[in-house]
Every structure is written in C-alpha cells, then in structure tokens.
Amino acid sequence: MSGSAARPFRVIGTRVAKLDAVEKVTGTVQYLPDLAMPGMVCGKILRTSVPHARIRRIDTRRAEALPGVLGVVTGSNVEQRPFGYAKDHLALKPDVVRCIRDEVAAVAAETDAIADEACRLIEVDYEALPAVFDPVDAMRPEAPQIHAQFPGNLVNFSYKFNAGDVDRAFREADVVVEGTYTLPYVTTACLGTMAAIAAWDPRGTLTMWSTTQIPFLYQRDLAEALGISGDRIRVLQPPVGGNFGRGLDLYPIDIIAALLARHVGRPVKIVFDRDEEFLASPTREPCVFTLRTAARADGTLLARDARVVIDNGAYVSWGSTTPYVMMTTLAGFYRCPAIRFDTAIVYTNNPYSGSMRGYGNLESTFAVEAQMDDLAERLGLDRLQIRRLNANRPGDRTPQGLRITTCALTECFDAVARDVARPIDYGPRPGWMRGVGYAGMFHVGGGARVYRSDGCGAIVKLDDFGKVTLVTGASEIGQGSETVLAMIVAEELGIPFGRVDVVNSDTAVKPWDVGVHASRTTFIAGNAALLAARDVKRQLLDLGALQLDEPVEALEVDDGFVVVRAAPQRRIAYDRVVRAGHFREGGRILIGQAFYDPPTQMLDKDFRGNVSVTYGFAAQAALVEVEEATGKIEVVRVASAHDVGRALNPVGCEGQIEGGIHMGLGYCLTEELKLREGRVLNPGFLDYKLLTAPDMPEILITLIETVDEAGPFGAKGLGEAGTIPISAAVANAVKDAVGVRLTALPMTPERVYQALRERDSGSPPRRPHRAPRRRASS
C-alpha cells in the first residue's frame, strides 16, 4: 500500500500549512458556539447538587412560568432509552442520581441568562443515599449499590489475560521488582467546550451539530436513545476546539439537546461553560496499577503480573474499556514471555471517565518503565542497555498475537540518548539536582479493531476545472487529518497540494468511518484516500488514453497533466481531459471510491488477535532538575524519537508530538482533577493547571522512517505517541536526580518534597497523598 514511490515525493514530506490555517489565524473559522440559526434557543442543563440521591420531587412550574422560557424537560416528561456502552445510563435521570455530573432537568429559553435563571427556579428535593467514592470501599460487601443490576459494584467487563507460566517464572527469576502506581483523574481540558445544537425538521428528521469524533456511531447510538431509526439523524461536525478523545461516545448533552428541541419545537444550542466542562466532560480513568516483574540476572524479562483497579465512576463509558490497551502494553511492550493481567473495574459515585489520548497506555507504560529502571538498578545494569536487550523487533509476535512488522524501538532509544545528552551551556543552579530518565512506548499504528469494522470510506472527485475533492469519512478534530489526507491524494494524482479540497463533516454526504481514535486516521483514512485516488487516476488515464490515442500503459500523471512517458511534450491538462470526457455523447464524470478495512482481527475471548496492521514505537528521554529544598521539578529538555513509518506531513507530526508532550507533562507534574466526596474541587483553569508557555522544556524530535509497506506511502499512526511515555521518563529522571521513586501522579512539589524527606530520614514511603479533609480556602 506504499503508493507510487519510484520518484522522490512532490508533496509527501514537505512542510505545508494546514488546510484551515488561514481561517484560524484570521478568526473567520466558525466553531459550534459561533453558529446561529433562525429560531434557535439556548439550552441549559440542571445538574444534581448531591452525588448519590433519590429524587423525591422535581417542580419545574416556576421555571416554566419565567418569561422567555420555552420549555423544561425532566426524566419524567420525555421519552428516552438507556444508552452507553453498558446501557446503564439515561440522559435525564428520573429517580436516582449517581454522581455530581448527573442531569436532572434542562431548560430551553430565549437567552442564556434566562435559561440560567430558570434552572435556579427548578425545585428539586433530594434524599441523599449512602455514597461511595473509593473503588476499594465500593468492592466491599457492605458498600452502597450503585446500580441494582450490577451487584458488588463491579462493571461486568472481564480483562483477564494469561500467557506462559507466570508463577514458575517468578519462582525461578533472579530478581523480582514490584510496585503500586496511583494514576489520577485528569481531563482533556480542551479550549473549546462540549457543545451541541439539535434541530428537528417538520418530517421528524433530526440534524445535530456536534463536537463528536465518531459521527456514525453517534448517529446510531443517538437514534437508539431517542427511539427513532438511524436514517432520521444527520450529524454535522463544525470545526472543534480540541477533542483528544472527549468526543468518543454519546453523552447526555447530545440526547438532552435533541429532547429539548423536540419538546419546544425550536433548534436548541447547549454549550458548556468552563466549570461545567471540568465537571461534566469525560476524564481519563483513575486507577491503581499493581505490577510485579521478574527477570534474569542479565536483564532478560521473564514475566509480568499486573492487577489494575479502576475507578469507573457512576456509568460505563469508554474509560471502562481502557484495559484493552493497558493489557497490550503490559503483555507486549518489551519482549516478555509470561504474562498475567487482571482488572477490577468498579462503580463509584464519582464522575465517570471516557477516553483520553493514550487510552490506558500512559498508565501501563508508567508502571512498566518504572520497573525497567528498578530492574536495572537491582541488577547493576545500564538503563538503556536493559531496554535494548528486551526491545521489540521486527517480526516479533507478542503473547497476545500482535504481529510486529516495522519496528525501530532500539533506534528510537539511540536517538533520544544522543539528543538528551547534547551539551547544555549552564549547570544546574545551586540546590538543584539534575537527572535523566528514559521511557519508550508502543501503540497501535495501523488502526485498531475494537469494533466490528475498523474501516473508512473515501470518494475522490476530479472536476472540470481540474480541482480534486476528497470526501472522507474521517473527521478533523484539529489534528490536521484533512491536511495529510489531501497530501496523500495530491501526491497520488500528481497535483499541487493546494488543488485538493476535503469534505468531511456531514454524515449525509461522507462515507462511513468508525471514528477518530487509536491514532488510526492517517493510516486507515489515508489508505482509503489513496485507493480512491488510484481509482480516479485509472479513470483519468483511461480517458487520457482515448484523447492521446495511446495505450494506458504508455501514460503517467505529472504535475496536473496526463503525459506520454516516452514523449513528455505530448500532454493534456486534467481539466481538459475531464471536460472532454464529460461534454460528449455518453459523457462521464470522474469519481473514485474505496472503503479500506484493514486485515486485522478483534481480540477473541482470551484476548488474543492481531488488532492492528502495524504498530508505532517511540522513546523519550527527559532531562530534569529537582530542587531539594522545595521538591520543584523543572523539565529542561525532552528528546522524543518516533518510528512513524513515513512522515507524510512533518509539520503535523511535530505538532502532534509537541502537543502530546505538553499533555503528558501536565499529567506528570501539575494536572489533577481533585475530587472530595464526589465533588470537583477545582473546576477551572486557575487550579486545574495546564502548563504555560514558559513552563515548557526544550523539545528535540527525531522522526524515524521505517517505511511500513502497509501504510499510505509507508506511514503509521502517531497522534497519541508523544503523550504516552513522558511521565515515565520524567519519573525515571527524578529517580536519577534525587534517588526517589515517585509512584503517584502528579509529581507535585509537595509530593516530591515528602519523598525527599522520607529518603533523608530513611523511613519507608507513605501511601499516596489523598485529598485534604478540611474545607478549601477561597
């Protein structure tokens, strides 16, 4: 699937501006909150004030009577069906609320101010129920039951994987290391909040404008939740202010917007404000990851045994399926023959998690890479050497049956080792200790068959003006997918990049795609676009052959012309070829199409199968400084090397890596959504701390091109890779700098300080810091 690679590329590998860059720098781009339509009204959701309670009474009369209010919906005056991965969720809660996010009513009004006021006028009597906020507590027999149909508060997903004889490996090992790692709630914190507009037409067809990244699954799930057929929903995706996995499910906002719009007979727009975004947008799943690793004296890995306890929150969303990916790393990152993996996914009265960039891989990589360093220390081995020794290699099959084809993991480590060690012209300041840490990762890079289909469709149209339009199922979520897809089409058709338009935002027009996730879009949608472009190219050459009176084999495309290879002065521009084909008797227009669904398998009931065509690898090295007196960590430099197959869009590759590092460093150092008794204590950018421009380290990127023959022009997926290993690399660097191993994130100055004082006093490490008991200050 590599594409025509005989000559150097014209478009692939060049530095281009994103297709929508001009709109974004001039402020002409229209995001969902910018959209308005005749008759549109404002929707606002009323949420519970108690995390776990029975609703005794809701009285909406005063709200309904407020001038400017068009209608109020509650769980008892609308028709709704359960939705969500486990169908344990209703959009408007009719009788029980299970977390502080829960939606009990919604108002449609002429203005935001009136909708806000109306929400305040809705009277709700809650009868508080005993609640549980810790997964360990929730698993006890006496714990309050959160869903009657799931006794023991265990989500009934089982992620049990076994390979080899783990117990024997541990008995016979020369060394065993163990640890427990505590990973927190963080959230995507997109600059653009979640939003939805719903509009029903007189025929009963619903149009949704959404921030979703899975428009076709959303279409199907929303239809089910509303009790209508999928063909009566059309989903539009305006430009979105970030996603990072947030839009990977159907959420109450979507269903509520549709219910409100149906109820009041007007288009309804709901936009989360910032507090609501922190409260109600899905998080990364918090978990406690217990791992043991066994090895030989020479550093060869023998076995891993892991158990993960996940705080699922009140309902099941995609967060509950992250063990798929945790397992993949646990069982496949570095060669390790014997594996035991198990999880407990536990309902609590906390907000529920969804998918977030990296999707479980950050957590498992954090544990795995901590123990690679621990092993190196115990065995007296070089930390890079133990990694090279166990590194995955081309041709490997992991215990799950994942087939590694291209793999430059070792080269990635070599590159970051070299780059992190580049001279720095200043030493650490007095009181600061320097250290370096390494971590690698592997992740799906050629799609991910977690659903029955992992396919994406593409249509390529070549028109009378020689303009090419790619209609792709793949969504643009700000990452630049439409840009790289346009590059692929431009390269294949031999035209400048600026001649390709991309259409991708309307389910009524674009062909099916499962959605943007698992770093799959460049690979899957790219292959689809490439195949569709080839289809159009064939048609173009057929027409050109007629017009040039030459056999097709004698022709090629070059810079917008159909050319006779042996006599290149004989050429016709595309627009002429197309017009000649169009405006004659029996005329035809040129449209190519393809649906690419890769040759992979879903995991079977034993979690075996090759879910992706190929896999991406990366390594990072972090140079940090730690201040002994305060515990502050400063990351001075990050070297990040990636086996990308081929860097189709280098600007885009770098952008994804740089942004990924920012997100990963936040996870590692400063970001945490703090909950106490199920309530979010820091729903704002002041106390949910994203790193600012001065906080960022120097970043040195290496892109390694292994040219994977399965990918479009050799490319593999990359979108999540920058985020995955960085926390582990920094934790390892801190260990190198000051000799303390932090096992809980984020590594705040306070936590580091605590660990340093324990190191000095020789006392054993304490349990991870929990949310403080006393009330928060102003």
Partner 1 sequence: MRPPFAYHRPATLAEACGLLAADPRAVAMAGGTDLMVHLRQPWRGRGPSAVVSLRRLDDLQRIDATDDALRLGACVNLSTVIDHPLIQRAYPVLPRAARYMGSPAIRNLATVGGNLCNASPAADLPPVLLVLDAEVGIAGGGAPRRLALAEFFRGPGRSALMPGELLAWIEIPRRAADWVVRYERLDVRRAMDIAIAGAALALRLEGSRVVDARIALCAVAPTPCRVPEAERALIDGRLDEAGIGRAARLARQAARPIDDVRASAPYRMAMVETLVRRGLDEIAHGRRRAA
Partner 2 sequence: MPDQSRPALDQYPLTLTVNGRSVRRDVPGERTLLELLREDLRLIGTNLACDSGDCGACTVLVDGRPQTACLVLALDLEGCEVTTVEGLAARWRRQLDRDAAGDPAPPRGAPAAGPASLHPVQQGFLEEGGAQCGFCTAGMVVAAVGLLEECLGAGRPPTEADIRAGLEGNLCRCTGYVKIVRAVQVAAERMRAARGPTP
The verdict on 692 binding partner 2 (CB under 8 A) reads yes
Q: How far apart are the C-alpha atoms of 251 and 83, rounded to whole Å?
A: 9
Alpha carbon distance 546, 560 (integer Å) = 17
Asked if residue 754 binds partner 1 (CB under 8 A), the reply is yes
Can you tell me which residue has the tokens 């035809």? 588
> Of 429, 538, 565, 766, which lies in the binding site for partner 1, with binding defined by CB under 8 A?
429
The answer to whether the Cα torsion of 145, 147, 151, 153 is positive or negative is negative
The token pair that represents 583 in the structure block: 């405006």
Cα–Cα distance measured from residue 170 to residue 304, given in angstroms and rounded to the nearest whole number:
9
* 694 contacts partner 2 (rule: CB under 8 A): yes
- Residues β-bridged to residue 106: 45, 73
Q: Give backbone dihedrals phi and psi of 752, rounded to 5 degrees, phi first.
A: -65, -45
778 binds, among partner 2, partner 1, none (CB under 5 to 8 A by kind): partner 1
Q: Least Å distance between CB 631 and partner 1?
A: 8
Q: What is the DSSP letter of 511?
A: P
What the block records as the tokens of 613 is: 């065509």
Q: Is 713 in the site for partner 1 (CB under 8 A)?
A: no
What does 428 bind: partner 2, partner 1, none (CB cut-off 5 to 8 Å by kind)? none
The H-assigned helical ranges of 361-408 are 361-379, 383-390
Residue 113 Cβ vs partner 2, minimum distance, rounded to whole Å: 6
Which of 110, 117, 558, 705: binder of partner 1 (CB under 8 A)? Answer: 117
Q: How far is the CB of 684 from partner 1 (least distance, A)?
A: 9
Other beta carbons less than 10 A from residue 378's beta carbon: 16
**Bridging pattern class, strands 432-444 and 615-627:** antiparallel
Which residue's CB is nearer to partner 2, number 272 or number 615? 272
Instruction: Choose the contact partner of 754 out of partner 2, partner 1, none; CB within 5 to 8 A by kind.
Output: partner 1
Please identify which residue in 663, 704, 710, 733 interacts with partner 2, judged by CB under 8 A: 663
Task: Tell me, residue by residue from 68 to 107, as one string, x for binding to partner 1 by CB under 8 A and - for no binding.
Answer: ----------------------------------------
Q: Does 687 contact partner 1 by CB under 8 A?
A: yes
Look at residues 257, 197, 248, 271 and name the one whose alpha carbon lies nearest to residue 226.
Answer: 257
* Shortest Å, Cβ 152 to partner 1: 32
Residues that bind partner 1 (rule: CB under 8 A) add up to a total of 37
| Binding site partner of 429, from partner 1, partner 2, none, Cβ cut-off 5-8 A by kind | partner 1
Selected range binding partner 1 among 302-310, 411-419, 536-544, 745-753, rule: CB under 8 A: 745-753
Of 224-283, binders to partner 2 (CB under 8 A) are 239-244, 273-274
DSSP conformational letter for 285 = P
Q: Considering only residues 399, 473, 480, 712, which one is a binding residue for partner 2 as defined by CB under 8 A?
A: 480
Using rule CB under 8 A, residue 763 touches partner 1: no
The strand ranges marked E within 424-513 are 432-444, 456-462, 468-472, 500-503
In total, the chain counts a number of residues equal to: 778
Cα(first)–Cα(last) distance of the chain, in Å? 59
Q: How far is 561 from 568, CA to CA, in rounded Å? A: 10
By CB under 8 A, residue 22 contacts partner 2 = yes
654 binds, among partner 2, partner 1, none (CB under 5 to 8 A by kind): partner 2
Task: Find, among 369, 283, 286, 380, the residue nearest to 333 by Cα.
Answer: 369
**Structure-block tokens of residue 456:** 């994406």
Nearest partner of 259 among 71, 58, 57, 507, judged by Cα: 71
Other beta carbons less than 10 A from residue 465's beta carbon: 11
Is 560 a binding residue for partner 1 by CB under 8 A? The answer is no
3-state secondary structure 484-506: HHHHHHHHHHCCCHHHEEEECCE
Considering only 110-118, 247-255, 409-417, 468-476, which stretch makes contact with partner 1 by CB under 8 A? 110-118
Which of 659, 678, 712, 717 touches partner 2 by CB under 8 A? 659
How far is residue 141's CA from residue 394's CA, in Å, rounded to a whole number?
48
Q: Shortest CA distance to 654 belongs to which of 11, 2, 16, 10?
A: 16
State the nearest-atom distance from the C-beta of 190 to partner 2, in Å: 6
Residue 16: C-alpha distances to residues 10, 11, 479, 487 (Å) = 12, 9, 14, 9
Comparison of 305 and 672: residue with beta carbon closer to partner 1: 672
Q: Which does 114 bind (CB under 5 to 8 A by kind): partner 2, partner 1, none?
A: partner 2
Site string for partner 2, 161-200 (x = CB under 8 A): ---------------------------xxxxxx-------
DSSP secondary structure of 689-707: -PPPGGGPPEEEEEEE---
User: According to the binding rule CB under 8 A, does residue 776 interact with partner 1?
Assistant: yes
759 binds partner 1 (CB under 8 A): no
Of 652, 678, 712, 717, the one binding partner 2 (CB under 8 A) is: 652
**Residues near partner 1 (CB under 8 A):** 112-113, 116-117, 120, 273, 275, 429, 629-630, 632, 669-670, 674, 681-682, 685-687, 689, 691-695, 748-750, 753-754, 769, 772-774, 776-778
**Residues near partner 2 (CB under 8 A):** 15, 17-18, 20-31, 33-34, 66-68, 110-111, 113-114, 117, 188-193, 239-244, 273-274, 477-480, 651-652, 654-655, 658-663, 684-686, 690, 692-694, 696, 699
